[in-house]
Structure 1
Amino acid sequence: MALATTLMLPSKETQAKRQQEIVIPALAEALETSGHVGAATAPEPTAPIEPETIVREETVKSGDNLSLLFKRAGLTDRDMMEVLAAENGKKLAALYPGHTVAFTLSRDGKLEGLTYTKDRLTSFSFTRADNLFTYSEQKRTPDVQISTRSGVITESLFLAGKEAQLDDRLVMELASIFGWDIDFVLDIRQGDSFKVAYEESYIDGEKIGNGNIVAAEFTNQNKTYRAVRYEDANGNVQYYTPAGDTMRKEFLRTPIEFARISSPFNLKRKHPVLNKIRAHKGTDYAAARGTPIKAAGDGKVIFAGRKGGYGNVVIIQHGQTYKTLYAHISKFRKGIRAGARVKQGQTIAYVGSTGLATGPHLHYEFYVNGSVRNPVTVKLPKAKAIAKAELPRFLNATQPLLAELDPTSGSTKLADSHTISTTKNL
């Protein structure tokens, strides 16, 4: 069986139509404008779009003032006065080296806004609106992680802290927490150890600093002390034992930090200047001239002035029972005078060698009901503990923090030998 295939050729009329040129009107106009038909033209290059504003950032240097910063940004004192006239404009009067000022300018150089940045968390801005500047504040909240460090003392607490990757502020805070129970000048021994759980702050995944110690443990001469940070229902923050007793006593054990005892309490001591037996009613702490002296407890200054061989003296009355005396002072802190109220830990004066003194030191006396006592050994009264009604809230908040001191708490260990480091997200 044969298959037949028929090929149909176009008619003469169809061929004539195909030979005619089909022209799209819009395209024809474009081709005519270019001077020929059938050739494509390259698109003309477009100019880059200029930004509506530009930002010029200046870093505050030592000796800078606001006028200098404005001039470096290409602005005038008139521009500066416009900003200063705004609400909170006076905040720009206090400049600190290292802070930055970002000026936002229009294309024609007009000031549209200004941002003053103190650090990565805090800044404030002035933005132009209807020829006036409005003020706003920007505060970022960092991400917080709990990090744990531990160490063993072989030479000193500061060296052990450094080996445990703790900064000086955290070491000082650690000593302050346990300073009511441990004399860090006299009591520290080789082999004493510590554990510290503290906050680390991060912005955009980058560490920006350390926060507070949230829990700590210190073993001194085989006796272990534990402390945990707690903010009560009224917003008061203190360190407590795990049972809810405050670590804080009514008095500091020593009113000067990390000074050595040059002469102990001794009622039969031979005076180094007078060369005869005279009762030494206090404890002498040798320290550099100008070292801050702190009030041992809350109280009222009853004397601040010159007092014979004591030289310059401050005497503080603490309620009806206790009194403390600080002698050989070089100078008093501003505002310290008879009748002034002081808080525990507040700087009241500075170490010197006024009066009968062979060198700069603090002479410190402690009185109970008018009788002098050895400041190093006297039993110090405790401050108030957590109220029973608040104890469940306290335990609920602090037990997870104390658990960070437990090596089985599940954190990832990152360090070696005597120093153990762990980190955990909050």
Structure 2
Amino acid sequence: MHTHGDGPGRKQRFKQRLEVLRDSALHHQVREHLSARRWTRRQWIHASLFTAIGVMVATIVPGFSTVVQTPAAAPHAVLALDLPELSKERQAGTVGDSWQIVKVRPGQTLGSLFKDLGIPRETMQRILKNADAKATLTKLKPGTELAFDLPVTGSLRTLRYDRDADHRVELSLAGDTLTEKVVARESTTRTVVLSGKVGRSLNRSARKAGLTSANINSLTDEIFKYDIDFDSDLDADDRFSVVVDQTWREGELISTSPVLAATFTVDGKLHSGFRFSRPNSKPEYFTAQGRPLKKTFIRMPIPYARLSSKFGARRHPVLGTMRMHKGVDYAASTGTPIMAAGDSRVEFIGWQRGYGNVVILNHGRGYTTLYGHMSRTAKLRKGQSVAQGTVIGYVGSTGMSTGPHLHYEFRVNGVHRNPLSITMPPPEPLAGAQLAAYRTYTANALARIRTVENIIYADVDTAPAPATTALATALASKKR
């Protein structure tokens, strides 16, 4: 219902109409009474009912109309509030009372940051004349923190930033003088054991225990991927323990190392992996017996593909003649990445007759693999070292091909073998002095893990443990 300025008049007219209707109803009843010799009981009941309804409508509706009317807006009052006065230190511009810490946002530059703070561009140019400041501040990353000493009575007095994890730089401006002060920031590195149960989610439990995303990926995609199916093997009570180095500075965790050692207990069976470097090689993970956890070859060097042609005699799809198919074919969309089946060196890269764009890798000990019909190869050169899993090219249909697919061959001393059924050579285990050093390292790591697990899971058989338990136990520390 809408109300306007003539609300009272409209209300009065509405009441008058109701009165007229009520009177009309009563007169109609009287006329019927006079014209009839006598009323029946039903007629008397109807007459009484109509009269009661008329009275109720006349009484209730005007009141409802009054309730829904929009009240007039109350006048607003504006009060003047006294702001607290600036401290004497702020008014005087005392050093240390006017620091503003700013965190760089995505897309923000040093120039826009200075502009937002109202600092003249000339001041920024003076600062960038310092070689160290120019090298650091012109390559700002999102999340970087800068501190500005900006007193209310003057311009920028000091700029503070971190040169690296261990050094903080303060640039002080006084007149035409720019003074640089480098402050060493002490950090402490501790070797810790992080342990927990899988619970409802391995990722959530591991993060709660203190592992980084990179640490979790190492567990699932590198260390235990050959022995544990993380989609179906895990139960809530399965547990993990991981040894890492954590670096702390001024009470803040600033970095976590790659996984140094790890154990995963699945259905009562212990799996372990330890990070170790052979001479002149990248670090890799080994079992407790010193055997590499990484397999020598990947069976299927292409993801999301369908086996379209097996190894053996077949009718050639282009030539139409029976001939030996010396590899296997994986049908996939053009552009699907192709990975190196194992650590190797590039033996050949380029165009080779019916193979089209092809890459041949030499894995040593007489093992080579060939990848054909690529739409394009990765930026590789002959003799270049390639790690297992590195993308070496992309699916195509070059050469003698009827559609996009990967033709994959596996050769041993030049003889073609079926890559789907051949027994892959085991990786070379550690031996001699390397194995001795490795056993000493693993013994210490396992002792640390057992110490922590004995504390956490001491009552695991007698009392239900929480779904996820995290413990970071400092085992050794060193200052930098």
Q: Do these two structures clear the TM 0.5 threshold for a shared fold by scoring above it?
A: yes
Q: Paired residue for 1:199, among 244, 249, 252?
A: 244
**SS where residue 399 of structure 1 aligns?**
helix
**Structure 2 counterpart SS, 1:228:** strand
SS of structure 1 residue aligned to 2:424? coil
Instruction: Give the TM-score taking structure 2 as reference length.
Output: 0.59
Q: Note the C-alpha offset of 1:115.
A: 0.8
| Aligned residues of 1:194 and 1:219 also touching (Cα < 8 A) | yes
Which has the larger displacement, 214-223 or 96-105?
214-223
How do 1:5-404 and structure 2 match up within 5 A? 47-48=88-89, 50-53=93-96, 54-88=98-132, 89-105=134-150, 108-116=154-162, 124-128=168-172, 131-133=178-180, 138=185, 140-141=187-188, 143-149=190-196, 151=198, 161-162=202-203, 164-165=205-206, 169-174=214-219, 175-178=221-224, 190=233, 195-199=240-244, 201=246, 203=248, 211-217=257-263, 225-230=271-276, 237-248=283-294, 251=297, 255=301, 259-260=303-304, 262-263=306-307, 266-268=310-312, 279=325, 281-282=327-328, 284=330, 289=335, 291=337, 293-294=339-340, 296-303=342-349, 305-307=350-352, 310-319=355-364, 321-333=366-378, 335-337=379-381, 339-345=382-388, 347-355=390-398, 356=401, 363-376=407-420, 377-383=422-428, 385-388=430-433, 390-403=434-447
Q: Deviations over 1:234-262 (max 9, x none)?
A: 89633222133333455555545xx3562
Question: SS at 1:212's partner residue?
Answer: coil
Cα deviation for residue 194 of structure 1 reads 7.3
Query: Structure 2: which amino acid aligns with 1:237?
Result: P
Displacement of 1:385 in angstroms is 0.8
Root mean square deviation of aligned Cα: 4.7
Letter in 1 for 2:370: L
- Structure-2 change in CA distance of 1:47 and 1:207 (3 Å): closer
The answer on whether the counterparts of 2:241 and 2:263 sit within 8 Å (CA) in structure 1 is yes
> Could you say if the C-alpha distance between residues 230 and 62 of structure 1 is closer, same or farther in structure 2, counting changes exceeding 3 Å?
same
Which string of whole-angstrom CA distances, capped at 9 and with x for unpartnered residues, describes residues 341-400 of structure 1? Answer: 1231473435433434756x6554332211223445442242351533x54543333224
- State how far apart, in whole Å, the 1-side matches of 2:418 and 2:258 are: 33
Counterpart of 1:102, as a letter, is A
What are the ranges of 5 or more consecutive residues in structure 2 without an aligned counterpart?
Answer: 1-86, 475-480
SS in structure 2 at match of 1:216: strand
Bigger proportion of residues as helix:
2
Identity fraction in percent: 21
Instruction: Give the deviation of 1:297 after TM superposition.
Output: 0.8
Question: Aligned to 1:61, what secondary structure does the other structure show?
Answer: coil
Local SS of the residue matching 2:126: helix
Q: Distance in 2 between matches of 1:196 and 1:235?
A: 26
Q: Hey, what's the Cα distance between the residues in 2 that align with 1:222 and 1:371?
A: 43
For normalisation by structure 1, the TM-score amounts to 0.65
Partner Cα separation in structure 2 for residue 287 and residue 160 of structure 1: 34
Maintained 8 Å contact 2:169/2:180: no
